[in-house]
Chains A and B, each alone.
Chain A
């Protein structure tokens, strides 16, 4: 709510009220962090153990040589530490099954035993649809708002009244480098189609990039008239990045979890989305479900989540709206001095006369933006 108030009050009083500052390392005390999920997907399950890091550092501090045991009802399996702090189940010993109970225990090298409460894997709730609406989002940097897609999810009517749901989103987008390669100057001549290097870089014009949306979404149905969620807002993708340049896809994973895990993730969502600048709630450490059995007072971060999962994919094409990402590459004036190969592109001039220009590799190579030029298997073209 208060983001709104802030937006009203700020311009009214003509001041910039929000200034970023660098976090200072305060009284850092490392805390054990547990990160783990078991789902009904037949895949190895990962439990990651680390120590929380100081705010000025971004590195995870892995906890090595701990013993992680996964329990399914009365069956148990000790996980392998496949890399420092990453513990993995074997391929086909315990496979998550709806209705069964799961929990983990973790033993530290000095003998502390941490454990989660056994939780039942809830039946999945199906996704009815995922859709996007083109909208104009308020944004202090864009006077007329930032256009983009707001994504929503609808669930199917669930069988039970009380469902606790968590959504995670994997996004993939197709984009291009700023310029398409016209020719390569090899030191003597301009080379095109018959030149290997030319072909290699031409194929780097279009890329696909996949990563997780850095937010999570939660919803529950116990407070709804019927156990069906309509139009739950997921993330927003604006035209301030290359995401919507050509084609954009999301894979929405919907997890059906139990109430305790729901509140854990809900708290995380609240922390991520905290924009209640004026009337902010008191900050607090988010309690998870891992307890040190030897010392219950010890603070442990993180949660072991038991979930059944369903998913749905959606593709959207570039909207016809203004885009605000950088589409300019400066040309190199005297490319005779550049060590070949020199990348030559057609530069459009304002007077509509185009000319050739030399540019840096980043201008013609989409992998510079972190994507891959091989099309993912799931990708469906327009």
Chain B
């Protein structure tokens, strides 16, 4: 059956009147006539309020002939359509349904109710409108509390959870509108909502992204609870692309924030057959990357190590697969991610620039379900379902692996044939509801990358970790969340490019964390968050060991590192009035760098160099080498001029204690991490933001203009030619400097409709200065230079067009200024060899970057109840085949310097992906 059902139905008023009129089953007799079916239906609709539902496309050309009087509608239709495949059915309200091949049993499912008006992009909204009214009629009337308890109270509490009817998960950021008071309540992160109302009768309209709106009539007598179960929309095509609830952009105090659902990820053009959350992030304003192959990205002028990925509270220290082409998160298993680049919530400490908070999907509460996908480079699978037949507990397990090895083997080149590169990742999520008040989430995550390049580099890196979160509702105002997190990132590197220098080295980072948060919903105006957090870092740099008997290197022993940090934090969201709200937080962190370790002291006035070591001190295990207390602050305010227009400002102060040791332009996947120590101060960052937010056309379009100024102190920069591999004194390779970044970001989003998407423009600058006036250490002669990722102008366009219910077309257009490079400005000779004299650091730029991607997503049929649902994604990356320079290199070819432009993915790259899921389309 063709699924583009254009079903005719009337507005609510007609519906109710028809319902009322049909209750008595009165018979309507028809006059003699000979008309086409459309005119016939129209007449009946107008005269008698009878509604006909049909698929316009499948209706045959039939003329209704009524040759005798007193024929009923039933009889007339029966006669008219008996010769066609159309089956006529009728519900108890007297509505007629005409479908080819099947007869309708009972009342229609909600999703058939699309209004047949040529509203184009309004179509889905229109259906929502209808549903609202439809639901209104059957809305539940709930009496909450009792007279006895509420009679002499002025205000009573009204609270509860908003949950997803299909899987029992709670829905954060759902909106409850109290119609009579024109007041909105938003559910919190655990799906809990709470407010205070005068006892009385109210209409509560609940809605959330991707859910059918639901209306309740309540009679509130005294304080009480109403859990609201919303139904997932079967058609998610009409879903908003970005943002959880419509008013968020204007109403909240949050700035520099995006919430992106897995749907939005799904709708993006694919590259090499994989949808990737980082690729989505790169389309947002203020997010830049050095190039296609980079294990990181840059947010608002910060280096890549100032971002952190959290998946269900678990930090992921290396989020790249295959040299940075992919991200280590399987998008099938992700429900959404929150991306903070301005006022980072106070519960996060430790990263100056941005937080990627990824939420893995929770398992299906109803039944077992499975899905998978096959792409050109990798395949993935996911299973989920209720745990131990207990509907309140679920599991979800997903895995993804590559067959890039097989592809490499098909290539004729000997060295490529002998090389290998592969990856996999997996996650498991268990959600256990212990009681009405206790919920446990158990999560495991792992990823692995292996490469063995025929010329002598073997590399193997892993992320592995688990988190346990216990959410306990102490009372209606107070929720506690206890999380224990343990994660490890490690790698092993073997290098045998030069036999006598052959080495192996390993690195291991252990991150252990415990945190306890209390969310205290003090009253309508205050949401308080109090928490403590403790982290223990263990970094093991391994030894640099000879690889085999051919190697003659001495083993270099690297001392491991250990540090603890303990934080207490407090924040409050204060809704002063409808127009004005404030949010503030403070986080105090005690950080201690611990032994065992030998600490060298250097002549303070000379460059830090092994030759300037004047003393060394040995510290025993767990003794404090250095410690400090730092305070982070968050202040944000919003003033709404109108419900659709607000201005916001924020200030952030953060500290970071762990950074990446990397001297490469783009982040290589084998960079080590290093803790701040007695020589290296923690980095600190301040950010000031100011923004204007305006929603247009009934919130369908969001526009925002944000400006920021960022100042990072103690930024770790690397001395020219710094080598970390054999250096036992990393502090000698480092200069601490400053980053100054500022920019303005303009974004317009259309979240719904046949055509949705966003366009944004960013102007930004990021400059680094590394100069220590005391020791005289400096880079670039002490002058400020543009950061490697400084791209002043950037425009991103992401568009989706729902051609039909089953076919979605997507396109991205990306433009940015070329990144800065250090360019040869002169040549000289030594021993007859041409050597390059370079410009000041990053004085020049690569040509501008421009790319267009395109993809088409074709869904299998959209029947609600079926065994399996399949879809195809066909993607074209870089359709203009522009060779965007990734970098330029200057190479000495037989003594002569030559320049080469390197472009990665510099051609149109098609890919095709097949996805299969048991069950229907509904996600």
Contact = CB atoms under 8 A, between A and B. Distances in A.
Contacts of A11: 411, 413, 416
Contacts of B500: 224, 229-232
A30 B827 CA distance: 9
B664 A280 contact: yes
Contact of A14 (B781, B841, B888, B907): B907
Interface in B884-923: 886-892, 894-895, 897-907, 909
A272 B829 contact: no
B764 to A, nearest CB: 21
A21 B885 CA distance: 11
B829 A35 contact: yes
A264 B717 CA distance: 21
A29 B554 CA distance: 44
A297 B421 CA distance: 47
Q: Interface residues of A toward B: which range?
A: 35 or more
A232 B498 contact: yes
Contacts of A267: 721
Contacts of A285: 720, 837-838
Contacts of A22: 899
A12 B836 CA distance: 32
Contacts of B827: 52-55, 58
A341 to B, nearest CB: 34
Contacts of B577: none
Contacts of B906: 15-17
Interface string B701-739: 000000000000000001011000010000000000000
B833 A215 contact: yes
B419 interface: yes
A18 B900 contact: yes
Contacts of B453: 1, 4-5, 8
Interface stretch (B465-473, B817-825, B863-871): B817-825
B414 interface: yes
A116 to B, nearest CB: 14
Contacts of A18: 900-902
Interface stretch (A137-145, A182-190, A320-328): A137-145
Contacts of A15: 883, 903, 905-907
B408 interface: yes
Highest count of chain B CB atoms <10 Å: which of A9, A143, A302: A9
Given A8-B421, A20-B898, A216 B831 contact: yes
A334 B905 CA distance: 52
Nearest to A270: B721
Contacts of B325: 9
Interface in A112-163: 136, 138, 143-145
A129 to B, nearest CB: 14
Interface string B674-706: 000000000000000000000000000000000
A86 B412 CA distance: 52
A20 B885 CA distance: 12
Contact of A136 (B414, B497, B833, B838): B414
B420 to A, nearest CB: 9
B822 A282 contact: yes
A11 B453 CA distance: 15
B457 A12 contact: no
A199 interface: no
A16 B839 CA distance: 28
Contacts of A28: 825-826
A284 B905 contact: no
A228 B837 CA distance: 34
A303 interface: yes
B552 A230 contact: yes
A279 B663 CA distance: 9
Interface in A204-253: 212, 214-216, 223-226, 228-233
A33 B828 contact: yes
B280 interface: no
Given A223-B726, A279-B666, A284-B822, A9 B904 contact: yes
B613 to A, nearest CB: 16
B499 interface: yes
B781 A7 contact: no
Given A20-B900, A225-B554, A27 B825 contact: yes
Contacts of A280: 664-665, 887, 889
B663 A281 contact: yes
B843 A272 contact: no
Interface in A238-278: 263, 267-268, 270-278
Nearest to B666: A279
A334 to B, nearest CB: 38
A297 B781 contact: yes
A283 interface: yes
A75 interface: no
Which 6 residue pairs are nearest across A and B when measured between Cβ atoms? Answer: A214-B895, A284-B720, A52-B826, A279-B668, A4-B453, A15-B907
20 contacts: A4-B419, A4-B453, A4-B455, A5-B453, A11-B413, A23-B897, A26-B823, A35-B829, A52-B827, A54-B827, A145-B414, A145-B415, A214-B832, A225-B554, A230-B499, A268-B835, A278-B323, A279-B667, A282-B822, A283-B822
Given A17-B906, A20-B901, 11 more contacts: A1-B453, A4-B457, A31-B826, A55-B897, A214-B833, A223-B556, A278-B904, A279-B666, A280-B887, A284-B838, A285-B720
Interface of B: 293, 323, 325, 404, 407-408, 411-416, 419, 421, 453-455, 457, 495, 497-500, 546, 550, 552-554, 556, 663-668, 718, 720-721, 726, 781, 788, 822-833, 835-839, 841, 843-844, 883, 886-892, 894-895, 897-907, 909
